[in-house]
A = this chain, B = another copy of it.
Amino acid sequence: MIDSKYFYQQAIALAAAGDELYQRGWVPATSGNFSCRLNADSAIVTASGKHKGRLNPSDFIAVDLKANAISSGKPSAETALHTQLYARFSAIGAVLHCHSPAATVLSMALAEHNELTLENYELLKAFDGVDTHAARVRIPIFANTQDINALALEADQYLAAHPLCPAYLIRGHGVYCWAKDLDSCMRNLEALDFLLHCELEKMRLCR
């Protein structure tokens, strides 16, 4: 049973997040998708193909954790990547997917790698469970595919083995990031993109 007042509140919060992410240039040309958990069995997710910086409550769909729409409308084509996370981890309350330039380019620049290791940054402490810059945080890089169910399965298998992983990259596509609630998720995404940007910066230095 969907609490319609809660659905509406989450829609407003996600629309505000979308505006902020669009201003940063992280969800260009209707790309990206966002969701929040509604309860143990459902989530609210952005509709397919909408401008993510100009979302209205009518641009959101309730889905079950198998990515089926419960309310009217067409949910994001990548909904299964969100619901996989809610199904695997009961603590996850929000998921954000963006196409930032740093995530896109860095994942392609690391063409021979299936993960990126971040270390020696103070900002690693933004992630749950990290209390020192001397930590090593591994971000997996999955190959892009139009078979979303296959990608959801690959992510699920990785995360089952690495439950502390805070995010993953999809090569040439973008980043998936999650947390207990939307504010924490925005914070994680902000920290992650900062770190991806720094990694890319290091690769630009010739001298």
* Chain B: CB-nearest residue to A204: B204
A121-B104 contact, Cβ under 8 Å, with A133-B172, A206-B203: yes
CA of A41 to CA of B187, assembled, Å: 35
CA of A101 to CA of B105, assembled, Å: 17
CA of A30 to CA of B25, assembled, Å: 21
> Which residues 161-207 of A have a CB within 8 angstroms of B?
170-174, 187-188, 190-191, 194, 197-198, 200-207
Chain B residues within an 8 Å CB radius of A202: 105, 108-109, 207
CA of A201 to CA of B204, assembled, Å: 9
Give which listed residue, B30, B133, B146, contacts A187 with CB less than 8 A. Answer: B30
* Chain B: CB-nearest residue to A205: B203
> Which residues 105-164 of A have a CB within 8 angstroms of B?
105, 108-109, 120-123, 126, 131-134, 144, 146
A174-B122 contact, Cβ under 8 Å, with A190-B29, A191-B28: yes
Give which listed residue, B30, B109, B146, contacts A205 with CB less than 8 A. Answer: B109
How many residues from A make CB contacts under 8 Å with B? 43
Chain B residues within an 8 Å CB radius of A171: 120
A99 within 8 A of B: yes
B105–A201 CB distance below 8 A: yes
B133–A29 CB distance below 8 A: no
**Shortest Cβ distance from A154 into chain B, in angstroms?**
16
**Shortest Cβ distance from A108 into chain B, in angstroms?**
7
A46 within 8 A of B: no
Chain B residues within an 8 Å CB radius of A51: 187
A42 within 8 A of B: no
A76 within 8 A of B: no
**Shortest Cβ distance from A174 into chain B, in angstroms?**
7
